[in-house]
Structure 1
């Protein structure tokens, strides 16, 4: 697998705890083990992506197993549609929960895997890299990935913003892309608390240029959280967190919370004849 320089797009090579290119650009590995390939001139803010507090809330929630059924289903689909994958990327990997669960699912078949995680949040990857030492994490933009063309057999994208052309560029012809997005009723109970006239989530046309959709399903459940801090962790990781006042969050933490979960899961296949150049 070849990383490419985010400044000049030439190949990066190992250079004593760093990656460097022939043009002299050098990028150091952090002490936690991740590599920062997001140049300052490509940042839209000083420290983009989710902050430390959001990361800790999400990690606590995911570690408790509340979304384990989603990661399990993703692993099953990966084994069904891309069981021979050896080069795998989790796009928008966050703290690495789904990345590591996917690695476990595919490793159970004895595959020799190289698994990569990419996220724009440095705070997230500090935790990911410290916990999952055998996964290669990089800070970078999903719209301008530091990977050579046709690098991956399988890509996972859970909620991460991206563009089809860039995903197609780094995927091999015939490679598999698994995506997860909110379904129609996802978190509807939260919307009922916030809005006078709540609406179901609009599931837009999910066709991706350069890809064929080979599977679609809705994965649904009901999240039942007893009173306690886990309610606060859950609220912190939703896009509705800022809609609740601090007193409202504390009240929900005292009473507990029940909420719909609705994940729209798709499997796409990159066209063999796509010219990603």
Structure 2
């Protein structure tokens, strides 16, 4: 077990349904199986992260299978590099666990961890996906020991690059998913006067070198309710006028592009 105490950074040892460090700090496991490693002084707000309403909309959309190609691609990328290893892999900003569960299925010998700052998300994830170890924690202060992970997956989630550098072993991997240039451009056309393509993420992670990149683009056909759920999952939701929401609700079908960039990095 590579978990560390969020208060003193000493190793956590599991004792029955609790995690304790040698300094005496204790974190109890919830009945759903997750552990809360987000001290109140690190929360920043009363209920950080996505709301229960947003999480339910996301789960409904994901369960309909519209992001299944991305889910499969993420799992396959990891399996190509880490299959057969007793690796420890972290999904940062795992939400309700949709992608994390696919990674666990593709890598049966690995231990998958899912981390999110939203307690409601982790509760949903732990309740459904029992083979993954989920924790409520901040991506800015990862509760993992130095050089303890063989892989980290970051799908849109915020992160602390210094922390990524700290917890990934030499030779380990970081897989990032960012929007491709045409991602959800049809939503943009409903909201903005001029539709601009997503700019490619130009990022270099300290301590990592890029070893691969793959673009995944396909068309989705959604019904009105699914289009509304997807819009709720995006930053565009804050800019959408009421008539946009009504247009989507009334739509029999709505076609839009899914466009993702998967980039693989290796710890040097």
Same fold (TM over 0.5): yes
Contact kept, 8 Å, 1:38 with 1:141, in 2: the verdict is yes
More deviation, 9-18/41-50: 9-18
SS at match of 2:77: helix
State the distance in 2 between where 1:84 and 1:5 align.
Answer: 29
Q: Does 1:232 align with 2:228?
A: yes
SS at match of 1:198: coil
Contact kept, 8 Å, 1:186 with 1:262, in 2: the verdict is yes
Q: Which TM-score applies when normalising by structure 2?
A: 0.95
Q: Does 1:14 align with 2:14?
A: yes
Q: Structure 1 pair 60/215, CA: closer, same or farther in 2 (3 Å)? A: same
Residue-by-residue CA offset, 1:27-75 (whole Å, 9 max, x unaligned): 1112211111011111111110111011111111111110000111112
* Matching residue of 1:194: 191
- Cα drift, residue 113 of structure 1: 2.0
* Matching residue of 2:70: 70
More deviation, 247-256/153-162: 247-256
Residue-by-residue CA offset, 1:83-127 (whole Å, 9 max, x unaligned): 2442111111110000001111122xxxx2211101111010110
Q: Which TM-score applies when normalising by structure 1?
A: 0.92
* Matching residue of 1:161: 158
State the distance in 2 between where 1:106 and 1:144 align.
Answer: 26
Q: Does 1:30 align with 2:26?
A: no
Contact kept, 8 Å, 2:152 with 2:173, in 1: the verdict is yes
Runs of 4+ in 1 over 6 A off after TM superposition: none
* Matching residue of 1:253: 249
- Cα drift, residue 158 of structure 1: 0.4
Match of residue 259, structure 2, among 254, 258, 262: 262
* Matching residue of 1:50: 50
More deviation, 246-255/186-195: 246-255
State the distance in 2 between where 1:164 and 1:269 align.
Answer: 14
Residue-by-residue CA offset, 1:120-179 (whole Å, 9 max, x unaligned): 110101100000112100011111111111111121110111122211211111001111
More deviation, 240-249/144-153: 240-249
SS at match of 1:133: coil
SS at match of 1:156: strand
- Cα drift, residue 247 of structure 1: 4.4
State the distance in 2 between where 1:198 and 1:248 align.
Answer: 16
SS at match of 1:205: coil
* Matching residue of 2:111: 114
State the distance in 2 between where 1:215 and 1:242 align.
Answer: 34
- Cα drift, residue 246 of structure 1: 4.0
Q: CA RMSD in A?
A: 1.3
Q: Structure 1 pair 179/147, CA: closer, same or farther in 2 (3 Å)? A: same
Structure 2 gaps of 5+ residues are none
SS at match of 2:72: helix
State the distance in 2 between where 1:215 and 1:174 align.
Answer: 14
* Matching residue of 1:275: none
In the alignment of these two chains, the number of paired residues is 266
